[in-house]
Structure 1
Amino acid sequence: MGTWDVGPFDSDAAADFCGDLDEAPEAARPGLVRDALVRVLDAADPLDQGLAVPAVAAAALVAAQCPGGRPVTSAYGPDLPVPELPADLRDIAVRALHRVRAEPSELRALWADTDRYPHWLRSLDLLLRVLTFPAPQPVARSWARIGGWMRRHAPVSYALLAAPAEPAEVESAQQEMGVRFPADLLASLACHDGITEWANLLPGPPPLSVGGMLAHWRMCVEIAGDDPDLTEPHGDGEDDEPWWHPQWIPWAESDGDSQVIDLREGPGRGRLGSAAHDDTGRFDDGWPSLAVYLTAVADALDQGGEADGMTPYLTPEGELWWAFPGETELNGDPLTPARPLPGRSTVPRAACSS
């Protein structure tokens, strides 16, 4: 089987699968995608690479229709449109990818013998990330859930949530930045104008006030100026980004590293990524929107689990603290896994946590 790169369509077997999709009637294509995934789940160990490769391509087609999914631009992908796929294929695709990624998998073993193995694993992990994004809830609802959890389990942290932003200040910031904030950012600022002092309240950097957003944006625009080393990407890959772009809105920041909302025109408008002070921007492992990110944070608190690869804990002082799974201490003091609320949150659906 010819394979030339780690992407889901970068092999003869994947191209053959996509060719079969093109030759099938439009109504039959979702069934072919499902069959490719189910065959992996039903297969005996070890999983044959001839089943695994089409399943990865099928999972990529499912992910392309999810929030934050990348459109299929590979020349070896389907030439004809894939109809809207049933929602249940997301879970099937996740289980199929985990089967391909785990031992005993012939495809995994073949990649493990190459120096591209970490890149292959990352390509699967990015697909899994998209497939497991939660359906976004209204931002006010997510903040109400986050605040309700903190009010009950981490009142010290809850007290740091700022009051809503002043509409006039929000309008002034938009005018100076030359953009209109997306609806989810406006909704977030209508709940909390950032936090009153630095705290590890979210898996990523802490949210900024409107004034903090504008100050960080001004600084980055001034530093970047018209220097092409800072304002232009330097590679030819689809993930290449500049150090800074004036249509990136820093909604959260810590030590010069910001979490930015991309307001450039195009299919990625509104996505959430990162802009490190010593690196280029990155969106390949970000979030499709602020609303999805805050939903994931609320889910991790309410239901237990992770968000952005981080797990919520409580410090001995009763503060919320996000750290990698399995952490047991912070600066020598014990960290206690945060316990979720029993059952569903009782915070009113339409209210912010003010």
Structure 2
Amino acid sequence: MGTWDIGPVNDDTTADFHACLDATAEADRPGLVRDALVRVLGSDDPSGRHVVVEAVAAAALVAAQYPGGRPVTSPYGPDLPVPALPVGLRELAVLALDRVDAKASEASLLREPWATTDRYLQWRRRLYLLRRVLAFPTPQPVTRSWARIDGWMQRHAPASYALLAPPADPAEVEAAQEAMGVRFPADLLHSLACHDGLTEWANVVPDQPPMSVAGILDHWQMCVEIAAEESDPSGPHGHEEPWWHPQWIPWAQSDGDSQIIDMREGPGQGRLGSTAHDDRAHFDDGWPSLAVYLTAVADALDNGGNVDGDTPYLTTGGELWWTSTGRTELNGSPLTVAPRTETETDTAPPQ
């Protein structure tokens, strides 16, 4: 049966799959990845453990080629580079992971190998993060996403739209970058050129509300001062994130918890993560960029859906309110699921 670990590619069966991949001609490797994904979609054999393991390993190879995906560097991984995989494998990989983790009784047999391990919940967390990368939307320009968000709020939540601040002063943006010693990424510059945060607190996006340039600078300075006694800004064990790092930009914040943009050098530069007032920062369930995050927000408003489990609702006062999917009230008052943006399909008369 081979050994088992919580990572998506830490398994002897996975090593065998990758060895087969290495031995295959480069032009034929995408087909091998596709075959592994297809096999699990048609499998209901609980003894076919290798089918499940190979599908997850194949999905990890697909995810590694997208923003936010981790390179497969495990000793169980392939030795040779994986060529660019067809775009269509992304959706297929999502379906395969859903098949593995399905709650339906017919598919639950497929995950039985994992359910018998002591670290099943940890493995499912890894599976969730892997699927999350594959489901990230293709980012639109930040200005386009804000235009969609603005348009939706103007139509459906004008009270919330009125709380969006006008564009930031470019001189103030430049002064903040000089004071922080950190250059803002293009995504943040474009966002501030749309709105300099909010005029007062409002739940206009999931997680924390965006801050003004002044708020970004003030919160950054406060965190740098608090973290000044931290002797190792890279974390005590080299791989754990610290509570704060001077190369992080807090673009959104509430009650001391902030959504941060990582501007440290490296492949993760520009990604979004979270840091709490009483805990270390983390990026595992963050976003590849601010552009991807705002695209997801605009998509949820226009098309319905949620952003990491938060769904847009309208309060009785007509304000936009993001909260856990399935909630029906806020402080005793009913919540209404936010309407989607009308499309030509929605409004077209019957033929």
TM above 0.5? yes
| Structure 2 match to 1:241 | 241
Identity in percent: 69
Unaligned runs of 5+ in 2: 346-351
- Equivalent residue letter for 2:312: P
Residues 218 and 236 of structure 1: CA distance in aligned 2, closer, same or farther (over 3 Å): closer
Shift of 1:45: 5.2
Counterpart contact for 1:47–1:105, Cα < 8 Å: no
Deviations 1:184-224 (A, max 9, x none): 10000000000110011111100000000000000000000
5 Å matches for 1:169-318? Answer: 169-228=172-231, 231-235=233-237, 237=239, 240-318=240-318
| Structure 2 match to 1:348 | none
Shift of 1:47: 7.5
Three-state SS of the structure 2 residue aligned to 1:82 is coil
Structure of greater relative contact order (alpha carbons < 8 Å, 6+ residues apart) = 1
Counterpart contact for 1:41–1:95, Cα < 8 Å: yes
Counterpart contact for 1:3–1:11, Cα < 8 Å: yes
Alignment of 1:116 onto 2:93: no
CA distance in structure 2 between the aligned counterparts of 1:202 and 1:344, rounded to whole angstroms? 26
Deviations 1:63-89 (A, max 9, x none): 000111111111111110000011110
Shift of 1:139: 0.4
Alignment of 1:99 onto 2:99: yes
Counterpart contact for 2:211–2:252, Cα < 8 Å: yes
CA distance in structure 1 between the aligned counterparts of 2:110 and 2:12, rounded to whole angstroms? 14
CA distance in structure 1 between the aligned counterparts of 2:117 and 2:50, rounded to whole angstroms? 19
Alignment of 1:130 onto 2:133: yes
CA distance in structure 1 between the aligned counterparts of 2:73 and 2:237, rounded to whole angstroms? 18
Over aligned residue pairs, what C-alpha RMSD do you find?
1.5
Counterpart contact for 2:140–2:291, Cα < 8 Å: yes
Shift of 1:291: 0.2
Shift of 1:46: 4.6
CA distance in structure 2 between the aligned counterparts of 1:309 and 1:5, rounded to whole angstroms? 28
CA distance in structure 1 between the aligned counterparts of 2:238 and 2:225, rounded to whole angstroms? 26
Shift of 1:112: 2.0
TM-score between the two structures when normalised by the length of structure 2: 0.94
Counterpart contact for 1:40–1:47, Cα < 8 Å: no
Give the number of aligned pairs.
342
Shift of 1:225: 0.5
CA distance in structure 2 between the aligned counterparts of 1:203 and 1:105, rounded to whole angstroms? 32
CA distance in structure 1 between the aligned counterparts of 2:45 and 2:326, rounded to whole angstroms? 30
Match of 1:145 among 148, 151, 160: 148
CA distance in structure 2 between the aligned counterparts of 1:113 and 1:13, rounded to whole angstroms? 17
Match of 2:169 among 166, 169, 173: 166
- Equivalent residue letter for 2:301: L
